[in-house]
């Protein structure tokens, strides 16, 4: 089973060389296999996505040659679990 945004991520990767050349550092709005537009800000891209698609999945991604590392902290850090002791 594919993840919710797998088609959009594939579309981004397929078009990444062109996006980097033309819009490096900007934000791309993608719905399924279609690049909707490129925006200067994340907020503008999200607003258009919500206006066009409502509460349906779409991808807003910053166009970067090297993807930054994502760090997530669990909200369970302070929970004592027997398996962690």
pLDDT single digits (tens) 12-54? 999 999 999 999 999 999 999 999 999 999 999 999 999 999 9
Q: pTM of the entire structure? A: 0.80
List Cα–Cα distances, 61 to 1, 72, 76, 84, in angstroms.
Answer: 23, 18, 28, 35
Q: In the structure, what pLDDT confidence band is assigned to residue 79 with cuts at 50, 70 and 90?
A: low
H-helix or E-strand containing 6? helix 6-23
Domain residue limits, the chain: 6-62
In angstroms, the CA 15 to CA 73 distance is: 31
pLDDT of residue 75: 64
In angstroms, the CA 11 to CA 13 distance is: 6
Contact indicator for 45, 29 with CB cutoff of 8 Å: yes
pLDDT of residue 77: 59
């Amino acid at each position: 089973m594919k993840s919710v945004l797998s088609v959009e991520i594939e579309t981004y990767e397929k078009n990444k060389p062109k996006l980097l050349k033309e819009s490096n550092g900007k934000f791309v709005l993608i719905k399924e296999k279609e690049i909707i537009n490129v925006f200067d800000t994340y907020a503008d891209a999200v607003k258009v996505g919500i206006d066009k698609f409502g509460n349906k999945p779409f991808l807003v991604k910053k166009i970067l040659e090297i993807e930054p590392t994502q760090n997530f902290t669990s909200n369970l850090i302070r929970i004592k679990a027997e398996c962690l002791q």
